[in-house]
Amino acid sequence: MPANTVSVCSWAEIIDDIIDHTDVTNTRLIRETRHIKILDRKSGACCKFLLICLVHILFVLYTV
């Protein structure tokens, strides 16, 4: 094989590896974004629950 052909094949393999790694990274990014959305939703619900409990406690203390 001529030197140019080997060089082109090497570059093609490098580009294919980059594409594969980019696909894996994209998949991870989508998965982790989904996990963050779930955690954000759960933490928001927890904060609302704590706020409701605090308001309830304050109401009970105020009425006593």
pLDDT, tens digit, 9 for 90 and up, residues 9-54: 788 899 999 999 999 999 999 999 998 888 888 788 888 888 888 9
Question: Residue with structure tokens 């308001």?
Answer: 55
DSSP track, 3-40:
HHHHHHHHHHHHHHHHHHHHHHHHHHHHHHHHHHHHHH
Average pLDDT, the chain: 84
What is the pTM assigned to this prediction?
A: 0.57
What's the CA gap between 54 and 46, in Å, rounded? 12
**Length of the chain counted residue by residue:** 64
